Amino acid sequence: MSEQSILAPPGIFKAYDIRGLYGEEMDETTASAIGRAFVRVLARLRGKPAGELRVGLGRDMRLTAPEMAAELRDGMIFEGATVLDAGMVATEMLYHLVGSRELDGGAMCTASHNPKAYTGVKLVREGALPLSGDAGIGDVKAEIEAGLGAAPGGGSLEEVDVWDEYRAHALSFIDPSTVRPMRVVVDGGNGMAGPMVGPILERLPLELEEMYFVPDGEFPDHEPNPLLEANRQLIMERVRASGADLGIAWDGDADRCFFIDASGSFCDGDFICALLARSALGKNPSGTTILYDPRSSRAVPDTILAEGGRPGLSRVGHAFFKARMREEGAAFGGEVSGHYYFRDFWNADSGTIPALLMLELLSREGSTLAELMDEFRARYFISGEINSEVDDQAAKLQLIRERYGDGRITELDGVSVDYDEWHFNVRPSNTEPLLRLNLESLVSREDMERRRDEVLELIRS
C-alpha cells in the first residue's frame, strides 16, 4: 500500500462527503492533506490562483473536531488561501457563510449523524454548491494520491462570527407574529441544534421542553441520527407524556430536522415534504417549481399540483438536488430522508428553516400536525425505505424491469415502476451492496404490504 493510500484510504471518499473512523481511517494528517488538495481543486474550479481564494471553515461539536479543523485550516493556508474560520457552528451556518459573503468555497469538519467514533469533512464551492464523488471529491482524492509535495504557503486566517446574521436570515423565512402559542419538545441529540435553533425558537411564543440541547461529542444518551427508530424513542415518549403539540429532533450537524406529532408518532419525510411544499407555494407565484425525489409518496406531487405548483423530480442526494434547484429555479426541494432545500438559502439544505415554516404553517391553518398527518396517512400507504443486501445489484434491477414491464418504468435514480394505484422505486446504495425499496399503495395498507412483500421476494430470492 502506498504512503498516500495510508494517508487517505480510498474508502473515506464517499458520494457526498469525506468520512471515516477517527484514528483508523482519518486523522489530523489526513485533514491537512484534504485541506491542501481542496484548495488546489477549488482553484481549478474557480479559474483563479490559490492565493486569491477566500474559503470558509466550520466544525461541529465532535471531540476530535477542534484538532481536525485546525489541520484542515492549516492545510488550506499552506496552499495560499485566505480562510474565514467561523469556529464551532452547524453545517448550514457554513453554507450561510459561503453564500452570504460570496466566498469561493467552504469546508465543514463534521461526521453529520454518524456515531462518535467518526470524523469527516463536507466540501462546497461557491454559492454553497457541494462537491460530490462525481464532481470534486474524486479530484481531491486524486490530488492526495498523486502526492502533494511542498506547500507554497502564503495564506492567511480571519476569524468570523456568523451566529447573529445567520439567525436573522433564518427567521426572515417566516412572519413571527403569526406563530401561535404551542408546546414543543425539542431534541438536539447533543449536536449543534441547541445553540443554533434554540435562541431562534425562544423568540417565538412557544413553551419549549429541551432534550439534549447542549453540544456533547460523547453523545451520552443516543446517537445523533433521528432516522433510526431507537434514537427517536425518547422524544416520542416525551411528546406523549407531556401533552405537547409536537416534537422536533435534529441530527448531529443540525442540517436535518424530523417531526413527531402529538400522538407521539414519527412523521414520514414524504408527508413533511408535502406540507413544506404547501408552505412554499403559499409564498410564491402559481406555477413555481417544487422538487422531490423518486422515492417519494404521491402525496408530494399531488399536494404541489393542488396548491398551483409545478412538480419536478431530482436524483437522490444533496449534490444533485442543489444543482437541479439552480437549473429549475425551484423555490423548494425535499427528500424523504429529511433534507429540505430552499432557493433563498443558496439552494442549500437547512434544519432550522423547516422547523420555523412548520410552526408558521400549523399556526396559519389552525390545524395540529397530527391532523395533517392523518389526512395523508388515510390516503397514502407507504412502506418506508427497506434495505436488502444484494451481491449483483444490476442483475436484480434487470429482473425488476422484466417482471414489471407492464408498468411505467423510469430510471432517473435506480428503477421506478408506476401503476395507477401503486408504485415503487428500487435504487442501489452509493456506499454498500444494498438495494433500497420504497413502495406505496393508494388502495390500503394491506395492499401495500402485499405488494411490498412481492417485490422484496424478487429482490431477496
According to DSSP, residue 136 is labeled B
Catalytic residue among 2, 5, 112, 156: 112
Beta strands in 203-282 (DSSP E): 206-211, 246-250, 257-261
**C-alpha to C-alpha distance for 450 and 441, rounded to whole angstroms:** 10
Query: Grid coordinates representing 234?
Result: 425518547
| Residue 408 CB neighbours (<10 A) | 11
Query: Grid coordinates representing 440?
Result: 406505496
- Contact between 338 and 227 under an 8 Å Cβ cutoff? The reply is yes
Phi, psi of 308 (to 5 degrees): 85, 15
**C-alpha to C-alpha distance for 453 and 104, rounded to whole angstroms:** 49
Cell 399503495 belongs to residue: 441
- Contact between 120 and 62 under an 8 Å Cβ cutoff? The reply is no
Torsion of CA 87, 88, 93, 94, to 10 degrees: 50
Active site residue 112: yes
Query: Grid coordinates representing 158?
Result: 480571519
Angle at 13 between CA 33 and CA 351, to 5 degrees: 100
Radius of gyration from C-alpha coordinates of the chain: 22
Residues annotated as catalytic are: 112
